[in-house]
Structure 1
Amino acid sequence: MFEVSMKKLVTNIAICVAMVSTFGGLQLIALESDSKQQVTWSADGNSNMRILDNSRVLEMTTNVIVSQGSLEIKGDRAIFEYEASTNELRQVQVHGTPVLYQQQLDGDENLVSGVSDSLIFSINDFNETILELIGNARIDSPSSTISCSSIVYVVERDLIREAAGPCEGALGAQQN
């Protein structure tokens, strides 16, 4: 029993390392100008705002669309968390059935797209846009596709930084 569990663990770790190495070498990059754009949103349903500790929390429902340049996230409900004193955006959580993501890549008209049960949009300490696709996560780009339980994706580098299994995917040009 222990041997079987260890083999599965080692196999899953090896698959994740191989995927990160493989997908990390891709030269596709999201539009550089996207990260310089303001995050905007729209929703057909209700919204409410409250202050919790040092955070300003904005919640909205029904056909929510979050955009930043060519980056677009669609879902059923979104929760925005801002720094209360500066109104700097910390993160956005989007939930849906499913949540849809798409963005244009730099240098061509190709799109990278994704789907998941929920998604967390945030900016890391290196000023990179991080998307955490959680639950039935999938990302498709012109040169690869990957499906996992969850995926952590660095937008500016088209890099799948982490992927929790089970996973499956393909590397190579997509067929139309």
Structure 2
Amino acid sequence: MLKRFSSLLSKLILVALIPSAVMAQGKSDFSKPMEVESSKEELDIKNNRLVLTDNVIIRQGTLLIRADRLEASASESAEQADIFIAEGTPATYSQTLDDGNEINAEAKKITYFQSEQRLELSGDARISQGSSSSSGSLITYDLNKQTVTASSSGEEDSRVITIFTPKPKTDTDEKNNENP
């Protein structure tokens, strides 16, 4: 009886821990330093603004953003930049989550709000994970909550498009279908 109870208790604890493990995906990146590099850099100390151009790369753990131009700015009270606006044809984003899955995104403009752990993709925005993808005029990705919101430009022919690609069938799947 005690053995059965401890087995049940351990299963309940495991189930209780699963949601927190899912919520933790990608969070380890945000405790790592951010490295920004480019071919050219202009710093406006008075206005707390940094502009980088030509082959801009931002790395923070597995998070990677590539762009043609990046503007980093901070409020007067902030000690370092907190808002990063990457522009490109397109600018790209990728990150490997803690479970090994990778998220990829691209847009003409990617705004990264570092303290909020939020990305805003605008202008021909697309985000994908695995074989599924979404596209629209504006996509907001909350890195902390792991939620994506997409919207169209509001024009009549503008729509949000989501594509779910089915998993390819394997030989085992086809044998199972033959023998119901």
Tell me the TM-score normalised to structure 2 length: 0.70
Structure 2, unmatched stretches of 5+, are 1-21, 154-158, 169-180
CA distance in 2, matches of 1:29, 1:138: 24
Determine which of 97, 109, 118 is the counterpart of 2:109: 118
Question: 1:114 is matched by which residue type in structure 2?
Answer: A
Residue of structure 2 equivalent to 1:56: 48
Q: 1:135-154 to 2 correspondence within 5 Å? A: 135-142=123-130, 144-154=132-142
CA distance in 2, matches of 1:162, 1:145: 11
User: In the alignment, does 2:32 pair up with 1:37?
Assistant: yes
Question: 1:75 is matched by which residue type in structure 2?
Answer: A
Q: 1:7-86 to 2 correspondence within 5 Å? A: 30-44=25-39, 46-51=40-45, 55-86=47-78
Structure 1, unmatched stretches of 5+, are 1-26
Q: Is the 8 A contact 2:137 2:150 kept in 1?
A: no
CA distance in 2, matches of 1:169, 1:110: 19
Residue of structure 1 equivalent to 2:143: 155
Higher RCO structure (Cα 8 Å, ≥6 apart): 1
Q: Is the 8 A contact 2:150 2:160 kept in 1?
A: no
Cα deviation, 1:138-169, whole Å, max 9, x if unaligned, reads: 00012631010110111123211343352101
Give structure 1 regions of 4+ aligned residues with deviation exceeding 4 angstroms.
172-175
Question: 2:43 is matched by which residue type in structure 1?
Answer: M
1:157 alignment partner, SS class: coil
CA distance in 1, matches of 2:166, 2:120: 24
Question: 2:124 is matched by which residue type in structure 1?
Answer: N
CA distance in 2, matches of 1:68, 1:57: 20
More strand by share: 1
2:29 alignment partner, SS class: helix
Residue of structure 1 equivalent to 2:3: none
Cα deviation for residue 56 of structure 1 reads 0.7
CA distance in 1, matches of 2:145, 2:86: 22
Cα deviation for residue 34 of structure 1 reads 0.8
CA distance in 2, matches of 1:173, 1:49: 48
Cα deviation for residue 31 of structure 1 reads 1.6
Cα deviation for residue 83 of structure 1 reads 3.5
Question: 1:104 is matched by which residue type in structure 2?
Answer: T
- Identical-residue share of aligned pairs (%): 26
